[in-house]
Amino acid sequence: MKLAKAVIICFVLVVIEVVVFKTILVLSYIPTGSMESTIKTGDIAFGTRYDTEAEDIERYDIFIFKAPDEPGITYVKRVIGLPGETIIVSNGKVYADGVELEDYFTKGPMNRRGDGTYVVPEGCYFFMGDNRNNSRDSRFWVEKYVPLENMEAKVKCIFHMPDFIKGLMEHMEICSSDR
């Protein structure tokens, strides 16, 4: 009788976990330094699925989203360009419709790789990593813009993993291929 009760409890917990992670929460392991120093390599981003409608998305929000060029790959980056905007990246500065954007969250001065003008289509977003010199983002993708339907979750908090756990996770290869 105790075994049957334990099995039922385990089953119910698994069902609850599946429902929560399919409908409410997203966890994303960060394998690269593209978002440093905001999010460090090995950290885990927690996001909510209910903030992915167009009216919920603002510049500088950090999102977990499906890569436009690579099916099955998930990225975590910062929203820089909104639908209909013209983004100019030039000489280490970023402009949206001619207004220079804040960069208090970036890591060091930006090099000129990725300089250009980007016109964000309606229903799409332009993303950049905070570590601008070491980020694979909208500036370098073939498909530069992320459509709204690729948005999985708005990041709400970051869990900074202790180094020994990061090493263990990498060693065990239990981490996803998020970038």
Where in the sequence numbering do the catalytic residues fall?
34, 77
Cβ–Cβ < 8 Å for 47, 26:
yes
Burial class (CB in 10 A: 0-12, 13-18, 19+), 61: middle
Q: How far is CA 7 from CA 18, 96, 106, 177, in A?
A: 16, 55, 49, 32
Nearest to 111 by CA among 93, 87, 85, 129: 93
147: tokens are: 């459509």
Of the candidates 43, 73, 37, the one whose C-alpha atom is nearest the C-alpha of residue 152 is 73
Q: Which amino acid is at 111?
A: N
